[in-house]
Amino acid sequence: MSELVFMLKRAPRMQPNSMKQKLKKLEPI
């Protein structure tokens, strides 16, 4: 989870869609 947060903080504008998809994959709630 820390890796994703780090990526989000490092480049939040690069690929927001990919980040959201990774979040969903990591946290399928």
> Residue 11 has what pLDDT?
63
pLDDT in tens, 1-29: 578 777 777 765 666 667 677 777 766 65
CB contact set of 19 (below 8 Å; sequence gap of 6+): 4, 7, 8, 12
> Residue 28 has what pLDDT?
64
> Residue 14 has what pLDDT?
60
Instruction: Mark 1-29 as b/e (b = at least 16 C-beta within 10 Å).
Output: eeeeeeeeeeeeeeeeeebeeeeeeeeee
Helix (H) or strand (E) holding 16: helix 16-26
- Model pTM above 0.75: no
